[in-house]
């Protein structure tokens, strides 16, 4: 079968062991990197991963580089400990443990976005205002958005980064069953069952933060109720392909894909 075809071109050992990831998944992950840049969620920093389609104990993530510049050949396979599967891997992201430990803790999660999206940062550093769904597009925030306080897990003198598996596990513990978590003085992590949904949520978490800040300056905010948030999440996220297609085109028009 496949062996006969591939005999002339030796496959890498790691790929033969686990089954190579679907090329379409890799392509989508490249597009996700570009969309998140194009939408202002990531800049030179931040990253997005997807769980391996053939091995739930692995995930795909770019090598250490700006998301806007990622191409298919920059995508690496990692195990859940955050170790690249290839022994000759190039430099990797310091905060890859955000991804591995979230996949370990949440079998329902198949994509993770970590960003320093500017508009969400204020909501991680104040305790008397919570990020809540201000409109239907960000209804997924209706199940709450906890704040990860790294001082509780890492002491008083960390550099704020999730730079080891222990900090990654602590963040995943605080994320619990939520769709997003704020990292105090650092950024946010957003999860979903699909890559496209995770990208959508990361974009609209940022939009929600901008709108909530604006509304807060006007007066008391009438947020979505829990029931409204549940209903709206179902309706809106059933149509996220529309946004993905547009964002992908906009990224290509920037010359990114």
Contacts 24+ apart (CB under 8 A), 83-90: 85/14, 85/18, 85/58, 86/12, 86/14, 89/63, 90/63, 90/64
| Residues annotated as catalytic (active site), given as ranges | 95
Could you tell me the CA-to-CA distances from 253 to 65, 95, 124, 170 in Å, in that order?
Answer: 21, 30, 34, 39
Radius of gyration of the chain measured on its C-alpha atoms: 19
CA pair distance 243, 154, nearest whole angstrom: 38
Cβ-based neighbour number of residue 104 at 10 Å: 20
Give the three-state DSSP class for 38: helix
Provide DSSP, 236-254.
HHTTHHHHHHHHHHHHHHT
- E strands, 133-238, are 147-148, 180-183, 187-192
* Residue 103, burial from CB neighbour count under 10 angstroms (0-12, 13-18, 19+): buried
First to last CA, the chain: 33
């Amino acid at each position: 079968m496949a062996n006969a075809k591939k005999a002339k071109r030796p496959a890498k050992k790691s790929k033969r062991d686990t089954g190579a990831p679907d090329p379409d998944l890799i392509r989508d992950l490249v597009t996700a990197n570009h969309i998140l840049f194009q939408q202002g969620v990531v800049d030179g920093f931040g990253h997005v991963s997807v769980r391996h389609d053939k091995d739930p104990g692995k995930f795909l993530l770019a090598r250490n580089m700006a998301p806007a510049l990622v191409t298919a050949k920059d995508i690496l396979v990692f195990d859940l400990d955050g170790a690249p599967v290839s022994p000759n891997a190039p430099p990797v992201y310091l905060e890859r443990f955000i991804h591995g430990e979230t996949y370990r803790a949440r079998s329902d999660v198949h994509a993770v976005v970590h960003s320093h999206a500017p508009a969400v940062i204020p909501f991680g550093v104040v305790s008397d205002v919570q990020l809540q769904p201000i409109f239907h597009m960000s209804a997924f925030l209706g199940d709450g958005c906890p704040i990860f306080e790294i001082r509780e897990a890492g002491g008083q003198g960390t550099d704020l980064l999730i730079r080891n598996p222990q900090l990654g596990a602590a963040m995943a513990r605080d994320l619990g069953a939520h769709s997003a978590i704020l990292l105090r003085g650092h950024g946010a992590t957003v999860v979903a069952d699909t890559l496209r949904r995770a990208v959508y949520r990361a974009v609209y978490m940022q939009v929600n933060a901008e709108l909530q800040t604006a509304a807060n300056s006007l007066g008391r905010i009438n947020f979505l109720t829990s029931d409204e948030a549940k209903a709206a999440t179902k309706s809106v996220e059933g149509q996220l392909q529309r946004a993905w297609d547009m964002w992908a085109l906009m990224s290509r028009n920037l010359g990114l894909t």
